[in-house]
């Protein structure tokens, strides 16, 4: 039955409204407008924190150009309740319908009230629950005629029914017109839709020759017996939409024209990749075949031969398969052969004169039409089979030339994939992940014998509280446990176990409580959730036995973004709750062109081969290209698009070798994992808007052997802005993570644990797809092993710090050279600059800002104009790393190496730790010496410092500060002949100050 969608708005309450009645209060009510429908709540008298709890309902129609798809919520003050006649506007909220969710996903959200114009004074917020529901529309009741007309209408309806019944045979008995057919060449039947039910050829009667009234009467009788909705087959000599078959004895001509001339590039959405032309053959069904089995079709073109699956025997022999043959300029054959074979004898027999050959058709490939993607699909038509035993059989098929933009391409059999079903291009969606927060407060009515703890379990996730001793049958924890749950939620509930600690290692489950995930409340902000009591039951008893109760707060935290990627390469920062999503700012378009010079990953019959496919991930959308079989230079030419919500995100593309290919012994390697061949990361913010970046990236793989170049990947990327310029620039001022990460942040260690769980859930979800996206592929794309210790990364990060500080070091070195008078002209100019800044201190900040501006404009000439940034093996120290350190980086935890190797690594780690320990101690020492200046650890040093501070204060009170600054600057930059080679007295005094390092054991 038809369903009607409705929008439900629950107006809960409002907080901290503006007083309007002149006595410090307001009498608010709410008006809601949606699709031209207006609803109003009741008035709450004299309350700045009103509570309505009203449910308002709106009908949802088609998108309207007049009313739009916005829900407007206006909060007003009732002027009739109060002595004032002031303006009654208290604020409003405008929400886009794209933020609304279905029933079951709603949550209470407090929206801040907005101003109507710039000079409005508005404050407060309103709490709403908004969601869609689908109600079954009742069938319309038939209109009942008036009682006075029922008797008169009955004879009239019977008479009309009789006249219609008399006229019906006349219509059915009229045979369809049959045009004349030339005797020299039989005309093929006109086109027929694939969805139409065709009539079988009875008793070997040829429908082309059926022109007598007697045969047409038998034909119509069978048609009526088979299906009422079956159309008549009309024989005509009109121009067919498909190619004409040619005699099977015709000679084979060669392609003399270029592919680009015969196949012009059509305008489509595939504008970032090259057009790959394919010859499509769609075999639908056959009729009047002299075989009781399930025949197959064999298609031969350009030296490529493919056999279809056996036909399904219904009223016809049905295949409904599409085949795509790659067409290149060097193709020499221009004949397309489609034949039907009886499977009683192997269909691979070359003897066409045998009784297993049922007939075939030949086409001139140069006359096959080109189909542009905006056009509708080409309708299949019947063709007469020639030769073999099916002298009167017909085959319905359609053939055309198209590109990879054709809608039949994804599911078609393709020559470059060898027809492997698992190698097709697919789009996957990551599951919607939620943080499930369980706050364990206390338990009551538990045995007061020993200590207890709560163990919470959700699937494979298990967390425990600390053990607490009971007091008067009550245990209190107030601990926060967090889990990751995937939507749609499974039937598996959240389990809470009351565990009794009887010994150091002995525990016993005393009670069990469960809570279904579908009944758990959802929260999108930091509001306080009401706690609930759950009852523990005895897990060993069949009957319900009371074992105590527990007070908990359990809810889904939708205000967080569930991290499944590393934070520095994340592709999406949106919160889980859809109500908090903002509008997209643009789109990222990716064209995966192909690879070059790939290394062979497997050996088949002594020959190296690779079955490569690419995977791209951005946000919750994963794409996988088709796996091209046995090709070291695969060409995919597939294009995909994602919506961009934040420019500071990263698009990841990885290349893998499929394990679905055949191994060296000819048997399928079902246990081998898909081998990783490298990946590419592209940060959206580094791309110019509207520019197409078509570049080749090196695929580098670092493993225990070393850095290996696996090949090259060619990509085309374009970032298109959708949002207005000001809205786009405003994104850079917004926090990267949702606001809940800043209000109630999650610890670094806990965040990493939850990320590991999220990766496992995502990998398990995508592995259940068909074809599956394997776990090792998901783990590699999400960088599941980036937290592992690596001495190489430690060294690389240290060099990054040195590189960052190199600018400061160069500036200090330049100033030291200036102070040493190596360039007297430069030193003289610095003296003048010092005097200007001292006498005009207001110029310090503008001068510094102007200097940064000049540096930025100067560096604009050296900006990167080539490919977006890619993996840098030199920066990663991947080319100069030691083999032992590589083995340590890729070793599993716990370690599997020998004791001598582990001892060697441990000693090296101790040496590195000693250096870090020394550096940390030096930093702490300098800070403690600064503290010792006024803490009287050294009474004489502190006395000297305090006395000097008094002298400096008196001097600065008496002498103008500008004279002091110029004198100090000139003294510091004095010529080296006036300096002492020994350290300054101030530095000597600071180094003599005591620290706490001598108190450490």
Q: Which residues, 6 or more positions from 192, have their beta carbon under 8 angstroms from its beta carbon?
A: 198, 233, 379, 380, 381, 382, 396
Distance CA 848, CA 879 (A): 40
- Token pair listed for 371: 């189909």
CB burial of residue 29 (10 Å; 0-12, 13-18, 19+): buried
- What are the Cα distances from residue 456, in Å, to 124, 467, 489, 512, 753? 39, 14, 17, 10, 16
Distance CA 725, CA 722 (A): 9
> Residue written as tokens 């059989």?
393
The answer to whether the beta carbons of residues 305 and 440 sit under 8 Å apart is no
SS3 of 557-589: the string is ECCCCCCCCCHHHCCCCCCCCHHHCCCCCEEEE
pLDDT of residue 262: 41
- Token pair listed for 357: 């050959």
Q: Mean pLDDT for each consecutive 10-residue tract of the chain (1001 residues)?
A: 82 90 85 89 90 90 64 88 73 86 85 82 90 76 51 40 43 40 37 37 36 36 35 38 53 36 44 85 88 86 84 87 79 76 57 63 84 79 78 85 84 78 83 94 83 91 89 85 90 89 80 91 89 89 83 93 90 91 91 91 78 93 90 90 93 89 44 85 90 90 85 93 89 90 91 93 91 90 81 84 85 86 87 86 85 87 77 79 75 79 84 86 89 90 92 88 85 82 85 84 72
pLDDT of residue 874: 81
Distance CA 273, CA 640 (A): 10
Q: Where are the beta strands (DSSP E) in 137-272?
A: 245-246
The answer to whether the beta carbons of residues 759 and 784 sit under 8 Å apart is yes
- Token pair listed for 159: 């008479």
Distance CA 769, CA 679 (A): 22
Distance CA 429, CA 619 (A): 9
pLDDT of residue 137: 65
Q: Which residues, 6 or more positions from 744, have their beta carbon under 8 angstroms from its beta carbon?
A: 526
Distance CA 62, CA 964 (A): 77
CB burial of residue 997 (10 Å; 0-12, 13-18, 19+): exposed
Q: How many CB atoms lie within 10 A of CB 603?
A: 12
Task: Identify the CA nearest to 625 among candidates 651, 593, 650.
Answer: 593
Q: Which residues, 6 or more positions from 979, have their beta carbon under 8 angstroms from its beta carbon?
A: none
Distance CA 829, CA 706 (A): 53
Longest dimension (CA), the chain: 131
Distance CA 556, CA 757 (A): 16
With the C-alpha atoms ordered 592, 593, 595, 601, is the resulting torsion angle positive or negative?
positive
Here the contacts of 407-413 (C-beta below 8 Å, separation 24 or greater) are 407/373, 407/377, 408/280, 408/282, 408/322, 408/324, 408/377, 409/278, 409/280, 409/324, 411/322, 412/278, 412/280, 412/322, 412/323, 412/324, 413/306, 413/321, 413/322, 413/323, 413/324
pLDDT of residue 245: 65
Q: What is the dihedral of CA 921, 924, 925, 928, to 10 degrees?
A: -160
Under DSSP, the state recorded for 298 is E
Distance CA 199, CA 188 (A): 16
900, HSE (Cβ side, Cα atoms, 13 Å) = 0
Under DSSP, the state recorded for 53 is E
Task: Identify the CA nearest to 424 among candidates 724, 895, 770.
Answer: 770
pLDDT of residue 138: 65
φ and ψ at residue 494, rounded to 5 degrees: -85, 120
Strand partners, 702: 707
């Amino acid at each position: 039955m038809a369903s009607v969608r409705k929008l439900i708005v629950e107006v809960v309450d409002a907080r901290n409204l503006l007083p309007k009645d002149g006595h410090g209060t307001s009498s608010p009510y709410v008006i809601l407008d949606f699709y031209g429908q207006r609803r109003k709540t009741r008035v709450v008298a004299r309350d700045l924190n009103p509570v309505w709890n009203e449910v308002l309902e709106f009908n949802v129609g088609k998108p309207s150009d007049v009313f739009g798809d916005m829900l407007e919520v206006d909060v007003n003050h009732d002027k009739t309740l109060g002595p004032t006649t002031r303006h009654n506007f208290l604020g409003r909220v405008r929400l886009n319908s794209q933020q609304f969710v279905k029933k079951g996903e709603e949550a209470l959200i407090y929206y801040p009230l907005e101003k109507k114009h710039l000079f409005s004074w508005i404050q407060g917020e309103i709490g709403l629950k908004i969601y869609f529901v689908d109600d079954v529309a009742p069938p319309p009741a038939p209109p009942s005629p008036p009682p006075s007309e029922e008797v008169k209408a009955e004879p009239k309806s019977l008479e009309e029914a009789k006249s219609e019944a008399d006229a019906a045979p006349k219509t059915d008995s009229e045979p369809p017109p049959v045009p004349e057919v030339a005797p020299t060449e039989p005309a093929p039947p006109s086109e027929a839709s694939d969805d139409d039910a065709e009539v079988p050829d009875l008793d070997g009667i040829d429908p082309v020759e059926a022109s007598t009234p007697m045969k047409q009467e038998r034909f119509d009788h069978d048609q009526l017996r088979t299906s009422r909705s079956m159309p008549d087959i009309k024989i005509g000599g009109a121009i067919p939409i498909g190619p004409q078959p040619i005699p099977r004895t015709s000679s084979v001509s060669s392609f003399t024209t270029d592919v680009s001339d015969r196949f012009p590039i059509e305008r489509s959405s595939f504008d970032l990749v090259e057009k790959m032309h394919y010859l499509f053959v769609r075999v639908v069904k056959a009729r009047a075949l002299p075989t009781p089995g399930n025949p197959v079709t064999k298609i031969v073109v350009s030296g490529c031969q493919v056999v279809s699956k056996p036909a399904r025997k219904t009223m016809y022999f049905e295949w409904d398969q599409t085949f795509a043959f790659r067409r290149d300029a060097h193709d020499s054959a221009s004949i397309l052969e489609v034949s039907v074979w009886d499977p009683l004898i192997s269909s691979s027999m070359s003897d066409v004169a045998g009784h297993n050959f049922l007939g075939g058709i030949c086409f001139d490939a140069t006359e096959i039409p080109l189909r542009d993607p905006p056009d509708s699909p080409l309708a299949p038509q019947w063709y007469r089979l020639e030769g073999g035993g099916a002298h009167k059989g017909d085959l319905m098929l359609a053939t055309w030339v198209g590109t990879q933009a054709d809608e039949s391409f994804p599911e078609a059999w393709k020559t470059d994939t060898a027809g492997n079903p698992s190698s097709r291009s697919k789009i996957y969606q990551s599951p919607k992940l939620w943080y499930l927060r369980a706050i364990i407060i206390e338990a009551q009515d538990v045995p007061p014998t020993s200590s207890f703890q709560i163990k919470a379990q959700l699937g494979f996730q298990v967390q425990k509280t600390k053990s607490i001793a009971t007091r008067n049958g009550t245990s209190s924890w107030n601990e926060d446990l967090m889990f990751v749950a995937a939507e749609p939620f499974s039937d598996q509930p959240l389990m809470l176990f009351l565990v009794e600690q009887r010994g150091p290692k002995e525990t016993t489950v005393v009670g069990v409580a469960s809570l279904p995930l579908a009944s758990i409340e959802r929260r999108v902000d930091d509001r306080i959730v009401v706690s609930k009591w759950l009852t523990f039951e005895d897990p060993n008893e069949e009957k319900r036995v009371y074992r105590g109760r527990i007070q908990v707060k359990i809810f889904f935290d939708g205000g967080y973004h569930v991290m499944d990627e590393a934070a520095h390469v994340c592709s999406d920062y949106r919160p889980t709750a859809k109500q908090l999503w903002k509008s997209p700012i643009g789109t990222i378009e990716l064209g995966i062109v192909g690879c070059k010079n790939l290394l062979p990953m497997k050996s088949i019959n002594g020959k190296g081969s690779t079955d490569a496919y690419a995977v791209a991930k951005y946000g919750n959308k994963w794409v996988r290209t088709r796996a091209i079989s046995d090709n070291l230079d695969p060409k995919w030419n597939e294009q995909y698009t994602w919506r961009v919500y934040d420019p500071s995100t990263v698009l990841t593309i990885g290349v893998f070798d499929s394990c679905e290919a055949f191994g060296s012994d000819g048997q399928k390697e079902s246990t081998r994992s898909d081998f990783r061949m490298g990946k590419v990361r592209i940060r959206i913010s580094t791309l110019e808007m509207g520019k197409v970046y078509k570049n080749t990236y090196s695929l580098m793989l670092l493993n225990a052997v070393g850095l290996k170049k696996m090949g090259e990947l060619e990509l085309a990327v374009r970032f298109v802005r959708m949002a207005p310029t000001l809205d786009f620039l405003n994104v850079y001022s917004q926090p990267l993570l949702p606001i809940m990460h800043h209000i109630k942040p999650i610890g670094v260690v806990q965040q990493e644990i939850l990320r590991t769980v999220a990766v496992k859930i995502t990998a398990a979800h995508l592995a259940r797809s068909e074809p599956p996206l394997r776990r090792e592929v998901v783990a590699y794309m999400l960088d599941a092993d980036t937290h592992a210790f690596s001495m190489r990364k430690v060294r690389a990060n240290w060099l990054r710090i040195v590189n960052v500080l190199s600018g400061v070091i160069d500036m200090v070195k330049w100033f030291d050279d200036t102070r040493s008078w190596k360039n007297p002209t430069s030193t003289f100019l610095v003296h003048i600059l010092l005097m200007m800044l001292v006498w005009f201190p207001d110029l310090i900040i503008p001068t510094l800002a102007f200097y940064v501006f000049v540096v930025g404009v100067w560096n604009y000439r050296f900006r990167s104009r080539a490919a977006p940034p890619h993996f840098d093996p030199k920066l990663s120290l991947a080319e100069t790393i030691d083999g032992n350190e590589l083995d340590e980086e890729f070793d599993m935890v716990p370690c599997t190496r020998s004791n001598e190797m582990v001892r060697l690594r441990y000693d090296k780690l101790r040496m590195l730790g000693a250096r870090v320990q020394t550096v940390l101690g030096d930093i702490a020492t300098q800070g403690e010496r600064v503290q010792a200046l006024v803490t009287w650890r050294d009474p004489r040093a502190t006395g000297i410092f305090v006395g000097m501070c008094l002298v400096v204060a008196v001097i600065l009170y008496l002498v103008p500060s500008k004279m002091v600054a110029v004198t100090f600057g000139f003294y510091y930059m004095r010529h080296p002949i006036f300096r002492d080679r020994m350290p300054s007295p101030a530095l000597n005094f600071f180094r003599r100050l005591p620290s706490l390092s001598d108190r450490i054991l």
